[in-house]
Structures are given as structure tokens and as C-alpha cells.
Structure 1
Amino acid sequence: MDLPCLEWHEHVEQKWNQLSIDQKKAFSNLSEIDDIFAFGQSLLNRTDVQVLCGLSEGFQVQKKPQNAGKFREQGNLSFKARDYTAAVLNYSKGVCHAAQGEEEFSLCLANRSAALFHLCLYQECLQDISRALDRGYPSHLQQKLLDRKAQCLKRLGQRAEEKDNVKSISTCASPAVAPHFSPSKGRHLLAAKDIAAGEVVLEERAFGCVLISGGAPIARPGKDKYQEVRDGFKMEDQHCHHCLRQTLNPVPCQGCSYARYCGERCQQEAWEGHHHLECPVGGELGAAGVLAHLALRVALRAGLAEVQKARDSEAHPSTIPVLEPTNENGSKKDFKKEKGDEEDNHGDELSNVPEVSQQRMGTGGAPESWNGGRIQGCDPSGRYLSDSYLCVHHLLPHLSGHEPGLRFLCAVTMATLCLRLGEVGPLPAAWGEQTRTGGERVGQSQSLEESGGGTADLSMLGATALRHMLQLRCNAQAVTMLKDKGVPGSAVQSIQEVRVATAIFPTLSLLNHSCSPNTSVSFGTDPASGRSEAGDSVTVTVRATQAVSAGQELLHCYGPHYSRIPVRERQRLLQEQYFFLCQCTACCQELGSEVKVQVATPELHCVQCGSALQCGEDGYFCSRSSCDFRLSRADLAHRLQDLRAQMDQAERLIERDRPDDALRRLQTASGQASRFLPETHPLRGELADMSARAHATMGDWRQAAAQLRGSVTAIRAQYGEDSVELGRQLFKLAQLHFNGGEPQPALSVIPKARRLLSLHCSPSCEELEELRAMEVCLQGAL
């Protein structure tokens, strides 16, 4: 949930509707963040705080020690069923609810160590054994833990823990990339030299991130108890809430049942940096939404001194030269483009400003921005420093783009949160009490009426967080990671991309949009996390997906892609979210083409004669004049919904180790789908992919490969020839050919999969390493 929950939204909407016309007009004309926050703050009353606190009950984060034993018993049931992953997750829930120092806490840790041992996670097992022994595990049971510890050390070969010699992710763009500014495009990134396809152009740590709650499990009729237990675990149960690393033996927060961490270091850093303030108001933050939570966390990390410095730099800008692109030989290269050839799209732009005709040169011969002003966030050499708070501060909040009602919602939400923060305890040292003129100190115990809604420091914190909340509407990045959705122990990978968190990456935010981008992004966790100066350690890596010439702009897709959404719909979505009319190359070509391609509506077939269906006002009708078949939009939606229901049922049958029953259902669904859907339709591709899973579960590798080729066709049509989605599907096809003893088909697919994955993924990713291993094995066998 990015924005506040519906109930809070309705409460604030009532406050807005109660304003007079003059008050609404006055608020709508405010152009300064401080004034907008002060307006919202001035309207606060105790009812607002009470309403938000009441809504927090729907986002329970309090520990319930009485539930710890129940989760441990559920873990025991999973353990007996040999579902050790479910056992670990249940024991973790028990750990998070148990009171520190109580015996139940150590019992959950000890039981979790047993499940981790069966998962061959020996280091994690040792960690839990040590924690259990340190936290009062019953003395008469300790020998079991000591025996398990000895077995772990034996399995590890009695090796000492490996030293951490990994290199930290850099926090700035590659030297091949240079920041630039123009009136029509705002700040953006250009290639400073020729860039090869697959080359990394940016590696950046998040300045701040917030894990997204996984929500309630979906209840499905006919589900067995085993599957209910597995589906009951959410995103927050399996990731560190500080660095987002996936973890099966989290360390819980001592104050709440929600926050958990991959280790004591992340737990301590999170507590000192922000969680000691967030912990008592976790429910309120849940009701306020992810953007408010992240905005507050960014402000807390920055601190008052950095905020003041950023405000001063905005009031007194200085001239900073911009790095000029060069070609591969290092010579200067003219990168000014013809007007109309540029991708004029992003959320950090200045609209309705005429294009300048010539770049200005600084005193040293290096180019300056169009008016001689600085490009905010750059050091004296012109390099953009994304780990500086300045870079976050200077992202545009787009005040004029947001509707007044949304600005009011954000202002009241942040003001109410800050008032609650003032009630639960002192601000962090970076935002603590400030010495006033004459040595007077302002405390945080004033009444609402005396303080006008909060102290000066709280007001500064609130205004700063409000700025970031408005920025995040256009600059927040959904952090996605790959999750295995296949059958445990399957020989064929079955993954899906899921949203894990929302984060802010200052340099990534400089990339303008294109519906046909020349870059792709992937996310991971920094192996050098755990350092307080690094902040959150989730990282983004940006790679060029095609050759980029020096002076060419680096472009990123904000979501609407030309291969999946028609141009008018893309433009509407981008206008609503990012406040610009997309005029990228793909949009211009599609609008200028004589043949208008309706991407969102693939050609449908008549179920009576097989001819193409034409789209009319009331639905679809057969293009063959002698055929009277018609298909309403409601009927089409019903047919698609029924196919998805059959596919869901087949998936559950596969999970219950009944692939033969799943295949019969899938064959029926595929036959129905082929009557009216083309083979390139996404649903046809999903049916083929699941049929391949069923065949693979039965060990029928060749039939699985035959089915997956149909899925490859749909994926290629949906995502494009150079997409990472196609690369992953070809990787699965190579796995099937390899497992089926078909060396020649496998060797023909492996180079294609490797080329695509190399454009989007790290050379050390598991898929590429497995492809190399398969190729070596097959070549040795021929």
C-alpha cells in the first residue's frame, strides 16, 4: 500500500471538504513545502491522532507472547511432515512474538536450529544454537544442542568462518556516464563514451528503503492444510527489514513482532537509525502507507544538519561543470542532438521551457548546464554523488503536478505522524533538541495547543518528510526480486518476479523514460552491508541492453512498455503518474504510423469458424460475413477468468504431487484457449509453461520442452527479442533439453539464453553459471 489506507484517506477528505472555498484556494496556491506542511499542521486536532491510532489496530505489530507457543507447535507439525522451510518460518514467528528472556524464546530458537540443520544451513544453525544457549535454554536439554553443534562443525569440515573479502558496491555512476541538464529534459544521464551492450553503467545503494508487507494469504477452496501453512508466510517473514536480504533465521526486534533482521548488526543499525522511533508507531506507519514511511525514514537518515545544508545550497546555488562525453579514443565528441530526436520524458523535468541552441562552456573548457547553474548533487569535478543527501533533496517534488487534494492528504498525514512521534519519545540525536537564541532549549513535552502541532524540530522533520513523500510519487522505485514458485526440489527453475520493497535511488531517478529503453535494472543486496555509513544495502544495477554511442541518452522504462501497452494508454498512465506527455521514439513512431497497432488486444479467433474477430462498440464480431458469431466483452472476461481458474487448480495439483491430474485439466484448458486465443496471447503462454512444469515433474523432459517452446513464442511476442523474460524462458528450455538427454537442441538454445541474460544479469548469476556448466558437460559428451 503506497498511499494511506482508505479509512485515513476518507478521514482527511472530510477535513478537506470542511474547508471554505477561500481556504482551499489559499492552500492550492501555496508553492513552498514549509507552507504546505504548516497549513496541514495548523488544522490538526486530537481527533486526527485518535483516528490514526485507531486505524493502527488493523496493522498489529505488538508482541503476543501467548502466541509464541502456538507458532512453535505449528512448526513442530511442519517438522514432522518434513516441510522444514515451513517449520523454520513458523518457529521464526514464535521467536518474534516471544518475550526476550522467557524460556519460550529459547525453545523456538532451538527448534529452528533443528530445522535449519535439515535444510543443510549449518552456519545459520550454529547461530541459532548460540542464541538459544545465551538466552536461557533449559540446562537439561542443552546436550542436544551441543551434539547438533558438533554435527554442524563436522559438516562444515571444522573450518573457521570465511572472512568477508567482498567488495562494496560503489554509489555513483560509471565513468562512462555523465550527468547533464537541459530545460526540456531536466537532469538526465548521457553516455560519456561508447558503451557496449551488457555493460554496467550504474551500481547504486538505496538511500532509503521500506519492506512491503505481503498482505493476508489468499484463501482458496479445496486447499489442504499443508498448503495453507506454506501460503501463510508473507514477504516480511522472509527478508531483513533493514537490508532486504532473504533470511530464514531472523533476529527479531525486541519491541515489536513485525521487524526482523538478518543479524544483530542490522538490528542495531536499524534501531539506532530509525526503528527506535518507528517501533512504537509501527501500526500508524502501516496505516499511513509505504510512501509516508519511506519519506520519514529518508528524513531521519539525513538529519537536521544535512537538511539545513541542502536548503542552503538550494538558496545559494553555485556553478559546477558537467563532464563532457568523449568517444572511445578520449577525444571530445559533439553530443548535441537534433530537436525531435531526443527522448523528452521523465519525472524530474521542467516543462514548457524552450530548447537552448548551444551548450555553454565553463572557465576550464568543460561544459556547464544550459544557464551556467550547477547540476545539483555533483562534486567540484562534475561527478554525481548519489550517497549524498543533496541528491535526494534536489529531486523535484512536482508541487504543481499533484492535485491539491493529494497535497493536502500528504501534509495532514505527515503532520499527524510527526505529532505521534513527539508523543512516544525524543527524536534521534541527528534531529534532537536544538539550542535556541539565548541558550533556551525547546523540549518535546508541549501540548498540542502550545506547540501549534509540534516543536520546531518536529516541524522541520515533518516538512522535510513531506517533501520526500511528494518526490516519491514520481521517484520511488519498486524493488523486485526473483522468487522460486516451483515445486521444491524440482530440476527445472520456475521463478516469478515479485515486489519486495520501495526504495529511493538518487542516480537511478535521473534516468529519463522511454517506452523502448536502452537499459535494464536488477536488484540485489550489497555484500558489504552492515556498515552504518552505507545506509540500506539493497542495490540496483543498471546495464545497457544495446550499444549506446557517446552522447546518447541512457533511458529507462518507468513501467508502460511499447510491447505490452498501446501508445494512448501509455501516454495516459505516464501523464497521470509522472506529469509528462511521452514523446519517446516508440510513441512517435506508433502515432505516426499509418497502421495503428493495438498491442493490448491481440487478434482473437471466432470459436465457430476460426476467422479473426473484429472489435466493435459492443464487443467482438466475426470478420467473416457469413458467420454471425459475436463475443461481448463480459463474455470474453468470463472465458479468460475460467481459464485462469483451471490453471490455478492445475497448479495446486502439481504442488500436491498429482501432475497427471494437472495435465488433464491443462489439456482441457489449452484446447478451449486455442479456439479463440492466438498462440502469442500471454494466457496461452502461461498454460504452455504450466504444462511444461507438469511434464517435468513426471520426468517427461521432451514433452516438457515441446510445451515450453509454445510459451517461448508468447513471451517473445509479449516482452520482445532482447528481454530478460525471454532469456529466462530460454534458460528453462535449455534445462529441459539437458535433462532430457538432447545435447544438440540444448547447445542451440544455450547461446541465445546466455546472450540475453548477459544483457540484464551479473556474469556470476546462477543462471549464467549453470548455462556454462551445461555447455561444458554437453560439449565433452559429444
Structure 2
Amino acid sequence: MFPYVGVTNIRLDSKSIDTKEMDCLLAYYTEKFTKIDGNIFEVFTKFYNLDLSPVDSWLESQFKNKVEKDDQLSTFYRQEGNKHYARKDLVKSLEFYTKSLCCATPNGREYGLALANRSAVSFEMKEYENCLRDIDLCFNTNYPRDLKPKIFLRKADCYFEIGQKENLDKCIMEALKFLSAENVPDRDKHRSKLEQIGKAKIKMKLIESYRECSNDLPEFDEGENEHFSSASSKLKMSYDKARGRHVIAKKNIRKGDVLFIEKAFIFAPVFKENNKQFYSFKCYNCLKDIISSIPCRQCTLCVYCNEKCRLSSWNDGHKWECEGMRANIWYDLGIGFPAFKAVLKGVKSGFKNVKGGYEEDLKHFGDKIDNYPYFNRLVSNIYKSKNAAPYIVMAAIVVTYLKKYTDFFTWFLKQQNCPKDDFNNLIKYVGGLITKHIAQLSCNSSIIEHWTYSSTDVLFPDILITTACGIFPSVSIMNHSCRPNVTNFFICDTMVVKALEDIRENDEVFNCYGIDYRGMNREQRQIACRSLYHFECKCVICSDQSKEVDMLDSYLCPKCKGLVPEIPNTFFSFCVNCGDEYSLRPFRKINEEARKYLESSDTNQLELLIKSLKIREKILYKHHKDFEEVYYRLYSYYVEIGDAENMFKYFHAWLENEKARRGANSRGIGTKLYEAALAILHCLQSGHPKNCTNLKAFLQNVEHMIREAKVVLNLYYPAYITNRLSRKIQFISNK
């Protein structure tokens, strides 16, 4: 899977004064440890017996700048939120009010003011349930009594908007009782507004039956595998010496079949680039999207969707992380952060292991209650690393932090499953485990990415934001291919893996470790595979140069119409079919002539586009990259003049070119199919579309585009997104 950060590339803030200190720390110990040779626990013990005063000094410098709750800073963030709210930048104001909440003393005055202001944003966004949640939290704080009538009114407005008459009446009674007992400014004015709301005719809101939860998970067609946790029954784990453990199809698999639904064994939220902060709209415990979050009671970084998540996080291990959060050590430790979380999972069972070789994994792999033993069987390649110092340094920093700034080891020694009976041996044992887990995460972790919108104008979620680093032991068993036959997306902390194409029985199921042949040439891919994962890729693409994307950008052999590859910085090339040699200069000159037609400012754009296309059709392979622009410009031209049939013709010419270059099932293909279908439908609705002789047949073609788009996009998006898009198309087509 994808590494959290590079093995030697600890995540650092480029503007931080701590960066040089960490670099010096790594450089100092790299001279002493480069390669791990021998038992990892013995190696860590040897390291830990060295002079660790540089590690102590680094931690001390971090803790000198420890961040605590600060009501003055809370006030500053709230005032910044007010500025954005005044400009109607609701998303930005929401972010600042949440920051204000995180910095405020729990349940104090500033805490209440931040909640009240954030509830105003939720109300503007029509997020009434979130608004009510913030208001209820606000009432339990030291919120100024003279301001309470405002939030009583907002609460009443929320109940009115969502049609809850009983709760509205109860709220009004409570508010009137408060106004009767308190001498607050404008008391009569507030009472009049409340009575006015109470008398207004409330509309009962109909719940839309098609509304789906964005956190709903799909299901396996034929159930879950009894022997392979979180995997479809259509899969099985296999083993051979050349491929190691790998996944094969137990029976024929169809494109779109769900192959894995796996909740992360552990995940660690990723800090935002150049910013020692997490995303303020993601729950630290479950990664759900949140608006009315609640913060950790101690640190200013972590927010939760509710009290249950906050308590669960604290008990599961945040109580050992929280001091480090306030000192910002986890930001600089990078992959050491999720490695420590993995250790915390192992603590519960005393680091239980599964004994035996790969045969045991084939019998059964994975446990949804305690998956630590199976995570611990993932490869680490630690003995192949050319520089193991960062592994050990990070592990040493974590155990030193736990020893000096928490009571973790004292607590652990008292637990029934503690594997050691004395303090020093336990420290060294945990340090060895963290070292191993860092290496395992480097080879097997996945970047958890969630879809979001770049603007309110776009039809599809079009931006992937990196929210966390997670480990998915069952998914990790898949081997890599630069041309994978699966794809995945994430729902909160759960990975959903789907078949990207039909996979025949007994064929291997391949994932992509972020090294894709469409974005990297063969040499770049091999370097990445060797440096990050310590293997040479021999996938279907790496084993056959003719399948590289670059081969599509070839000229046509005048003799046999075979491919004459374009080779940069050379003047001659051979036809891959008949072997004849050709000078590349004439091909390049003719193609440049076609380019000049596209760049011309002549008013007759259609004629120039057609000329350019005809020239290129004579010399370029049909899927050459230079066809993309001319096809799309012809499609766009016919969109503008409302010629539906030519729109359809040139869109499909462009589409076939894109399928060859990006893959028939790429997300970009799906989004363009939807967008083109919408454009054609709008054209047909305009009244008199040009050149449309058979409307019924034409509409059938558009319907086929929509079906194809949904099949493709279901590979990349959760169902609630594609279903919503289908309803939009249906609404337009029924107009």
C-alpha cells in the first residue's frame, strides 16, 4: 500500500525552528546505525543503551513550547470567525469558530460564545440538527445570561424550520420562563418574537425516502469470506515462493464487484501541509464529517463528533498521546505516530502473535475484534533498508516521551497481559515493537483520502483530501501492479475495494501501490518500487514495453500502418511491426502544420479544426495525445451552436482516445460521460436542436452514456453520490 511518509523523510514543517534540530538528531544517529542486523529487540536495546541526551534535549525543547487552552487565543479566533461571517464566508467562519472552541477553557464563557456563534453559521447553512446540538451544548456552559434570549430564539427557529411542533412549543415555554425570571435587555422584544413564532403556522417537513446516509457501507454480493476477514467470498489467499502471499479470484469476478470492505486496524490523522493542525471537520476517532464538533478537554488539536467518540478515543489511547499533542511531537515524528497507535492496539492482548508460517494465513487471516496478531504478520523489509536510523530514532523518541511525560509504563506493568515484569525491559520491548511497526507501516500503510468539492459549481466531488494514514491488513495482502485490476475509495475509516475490470477465476487480484504506469515511465516505476518496497516490478506493463502509454504517441508507418515510436532527442525510429527505419523529421513537420491550424485566429474555426484533424489522421496513431485537443474543441464548437448529433460524434471520438490513454474505467471517463449527457440533454431541450434526424435513437444513445457513467463512477464514489447524480439527470430528462 502507500507509505505514510518516506522511510527517511519524517514529516516536518519547513518553517519550523524544530526542523534543523530533528535533522541534526537523525544525522547524529545515522552515523551509528544504518542497517539493522539481528533481532530487532536486541538492536533497539543496543541503541537505547547509547547516550540519548540528544533525544532528551529535543523533547525538552518541544515541551517548553507546549500549547494549552487559552481563552485569549479563543477570543482572537472567534473575532476572525466574525469577520468571515460578516462577509458570508460561512465555511471559513465555521473553521475559525471551531478553532475558538478548541482553544477555550471547557464550558467557560469563551467556550459558550464559540458554540453560540457556530450555531448561527449552522443555521445559515440550513444544518438545523447541528445548530440545535451547538445550542444545547452552549446552555451547559458559562454563556452570558443576557445573550441567552438570542439562542433561545435561534433554537425555536430551528424547530420551526424542521417542523417539530412539540419541541417548538416546549422551547418557547422554556424561553418565556427564563425571560420571566431574568431581567435581560429587550425582554419584551424577545417575548414578542417568541410568541410570534409560536403562532405561525408550522409546515410539517416530509422526509425524502431516497435520502441515503453518506456513511452507509456496501455489501458483498455473495457474503464475506469465512477464512479471510473483510474479503469477499469470491477471493482467496494463496502463496508461492515467487509471489509470496497474494490474492486470487476464487471464481469469476465482474467489474464493480465489491472485493474488500475493511475498517482500518488503526489510523492516524494526517497533519495539514505546513500546519500543525488536523482538519477541523473530521472526527479524530472515526473520521466522520462533522460540523458541530466537540474538542478534546486537554489538547487543542483533536475534535470529535460526539461525547461517545471523545470518551472512546481517550480510553483507547488518546490519554497517552495528549501530552505529546500539546507539545506537537507527533507532527515531527510522522510515521512514528501511527506506529505508536498500533502498539496501543497490541497492549490489550499483550501483543498476542499467530504462530506458524504462511500455511496458517491460508487457513485463516484477520480478526475484527483483535487484528493485532495479523497486522504483526505483515512484511516489514526492515533488514533490506539501507538506512534504519530513522526507524530507531523515532521509536526511541516515543518510548522516552512515554517514560518521562506519561505514566504509560507504570500503568502497563500492572496489566494482566504485560509481556515483561520490569520497567527497563518493558521500555526496550515496546521500543523494538515500534521500530518494527514503523517498518511495517512504511511497506503496507494506505493514505486515507476523502472526496470533497472544489466549488459549489462543480457537479462531482473533484478533490481528494488526505485525511489520515491507515493500515488494512487484509487489503495489504494484494500484490502490486502498475496496471491494477482493482480500485478503492474510503467511507470514514473503512476502505472499499472494487474490481476495476472483469477478473477470471484463478487470476491474481492486483492493487496499485501508488506507482501507476499512466503517470510514470518504466524507469521511474522501478526506482520507486525498489526504494519504497524493496522489489523489482514484473507486472504486465513492466514486462512488455509495447504496452507503455508512450507507445500510443507513435506515427503511422507509411508501408504497413504499424507504429513508429516518437523518441525524444533522436531523428530516426523503427516501425515496431515491419522493422523499416524512418526519419522522424517529416512526421514532426506535418504534425506541426496541423498545430498551426489550431493556433490560427481565423474566424472560420470549424474549417481549420477539420483540416487539422484530417492531416493528423494520415500520420498519427489513432490514440495519439494530439487528437485529444482537436476532438474536444470540435465537440465544444457543436455544443455552442446546439448541434446534438455532431456533439455526440466528436465527444465519442474524444472518449475513445481517452479510454485508450487513461483506461476505459478511469474516473475522468465517468465524469465526462455525465457532463456530456447533461450538455446533450440541455441541447435537446433548447427547442430545435440541429441535425437530429432520429430523436428516439439519439435519446437511447444518451441513456447508454448515463448508464456507462454510473457504472464507472460507482468504482470511485460511494453510492449516495452517484445516486444523487442519477436523480439530477432524471430530473433534467423529465423536464
2:282 aligned to 235, 239, 244, which one?
239
Name 2:483's counterpart in structure 1: 516
What does residue 210 of structure 1 align with?
A: 268
Instruction: Name the aligned partner's letter for residue 289 of structure 1.
Output: L
The aligned runs of 1:23-34 (5 Å cut-off) are: 28=35, 30-34=37-41
Could you tell me how far 1:278 is from its partner in structure 2? 1.0
CA distance in 1, matches of 2:234, 2:139: 52
Distance in 2 separating the partners of 1:212 and 1:729: 31
Counterpart residue type for residue 673 of structure 2: L
Tell me the equivalent position of 1:747: 703
1:95-114 counterparts in 2 under 5 A?
95-114=101-120
User: Given the alignment, which residue of 240, 245, 252 partners 1:187?
Assistant: 245
1:418 and 2:399 aligned: yes
User: Which of residues 24, 27, 47 is equivalent to 1:14?
Assistant: 27
2:436 equivalent in structure 1:
467
One of 40, 48, 53 as aligned partner of 2:55: 48
Relative to structure 1, the CA distance from residue 679 to residue 31 in structure 2 (aligned partners, 3 Å threshold; closer, same or farther) is farther
2:526–2:536 contact (8 Å) kept in structure 1: yes
Q: Measure, in 2, the Cα distance between the counterparts of 1:63 and 1:752.
A: 53
Q: In the alignment, is the contact (CA less than 8 A) between 2:517 and 2:548 conserved in 1?
A: no
Secondary structure of 1:189's aligned partner = strand
Q: Number of matched residues? A: 615
SS in 1 for 2:543: helix
User: Which residue number corresponds to residue 639 of structure 1?
Assistant: none
- Stretch deviating more after TM superposition (159-168 or 508-517): 159-168
Amino acid at match of 1:499: T
* Alpha-carbon distance between aligned partners in 2 of 1:115 and 1:245, rounded to the nearest angstrom: 20
Offset at residue 470 of structure 1 (A): 0.5
Question: What is the 5 A alignment of 1:140-179?
Answer: 140-158=146-164, 172-179=230-237
Structure 2 residue 373 is matched with structure 1 residue 390: yes
Q: Distance in 2 between matches of 1:62 and 1:707?
A: 61
- Identify the match of residue 721 of structure 1 among 639, 642, 664: 664
The one-character-per-residue Cα deviations of 1:169-222 (angstroms, maximum 9, x if unpaired) are 8852122222222222222222222222211111010011111112248xxxxx
Distance 2:707 2:143 in 1: 54
Q: Which amino acid aligns with 1:78?
A: H
1:625 CA displacement: 6.5
Match of 2:526 among 562, 565, 571: 571
Please give the per-residue CA displacement for 1:716-772, whole angstroms capped at 9, x wherever unaligned: 45521122332133233334444555594743521220221234444x331244225
Task: Supply the AA of the counterpart residue of 1:116.
Answer: S
Cα distance between partner residues in 2 of 1:303 and 1:626: 67
Q: 1:740 to 1:85 in 2, by over 3 A?
A: farther
1:624 corresponds to: 585
- 1:122-180 deviation line (CA, Å, top 9, x unaligned): 11111100111111211121122122112212222229999999789885212222222
Root-mean-square deviation (CA, aligned residues, Å) is 4.6
Identity of aligned residues (%): 21
1:290 is aligned to 334
Task: Decide whether aligned partners of structure 1 residues 471 and 55 sit closer, same or farther in structure 2, where only a CA change above 3 A counts.
Answer: same
Deviation, 1:54, is: 3.0
- Residue matched to 1:134: 140
Q: Which string of whole-angstrom CA distances, capped at 9 and with x for unpartnered residues, describes residues 408-434 of structure 1? A: 221122112211111122118983446
| 8 A Cα contact 2:449 2:468, kept in partner | yes
**Kept after mapping to 2: 8 A contact 1:747/1:775:** no
Q: Is the 8 A contact 2:255 2:501 kept in 1?
A: yes
Q: Give yes or no for contact 1:304–1:430 (8 Å, CA) kept in 2.
A: no
CA distance in 1, matches of 2:251, 2:426: 46
Are residue 255 (structure 1) and residue 301 (structure 2) matched?
Answer: no
d(CA) in 2 for partners of 1:683, 1:92: 49
The structure that has the greater radius of gyration is: 2
CA offsets, 1:226-280, max 9 Å, x none?
xxxxxxx975222112211122222111111111122222111111112111111
Label 1:704 to 1:288 Cα distance change in 2 as closer, same or farther (>3 A): farther
Q: Among residues 474, 492, 497, which one is paired with 1:542 in the alignment?
A: 497
Secondary structure of 2:585's counterpart equals coil
Other-structure match for 1:505: 472
Query: Distance between the aligned counterparts of 1:10 and 1:497, measured in 2?
Result: 30
2:143 is paired with a residue whose SS is coil
| Match 2:42 to one of 35, 55, 59 | 35
1:63 to 63, 69, 82: 69
1:479 aligns with 2:448: yes
TM-score normalised per structure 1? 0.69
CA contact (8 A) 2:262 2:496 kept: yes
Distance 1:491 1:571, change over 3 A: closer
Q: Secondary structure at the match of 2:708?
A: helix
**Alpha-carbon separation, structure 2, partners of 1:688 and 1:140:** 66
Change beyond 3 A, Cα 1:435–1:481: closer
Q: Which amino acid aligns with 1:48?
A: V
Note if contact 2:59-2:401 (Cα within 8 Å) is conserved in structure 1: no
- SS of alignment partner, residue 432 of structure 2: helix
Q: Distance in 2 between matches of 1:271 and 1:751?
A: 46
TM-score (norm 2): 0.73
Give, as a single letter, the amino acid of the residue that structure 2 aligns with 1:87.
S
CA distance in 1, matches of 2:311, 2:429: 26
Contact 2:480–2:511 (CA under 8 A) maintained in structure 1: yes
Distance of 2:109 and 2:643 partners within structure 1: 50
Question: How far did residue 562 of structure 1 move?
Answer: 2.5
1:561 paired residue number: 516
The amino acid across from 2:711 in the alignment is R
Match among 704, 714, 718 for residue 758 of structure 1: 714
Residue 431 of structure 1, aligned match among 412, 428, 431:
412
For residue 730 of structure 1, the aligned residue among 657, 662, 673 is: 673
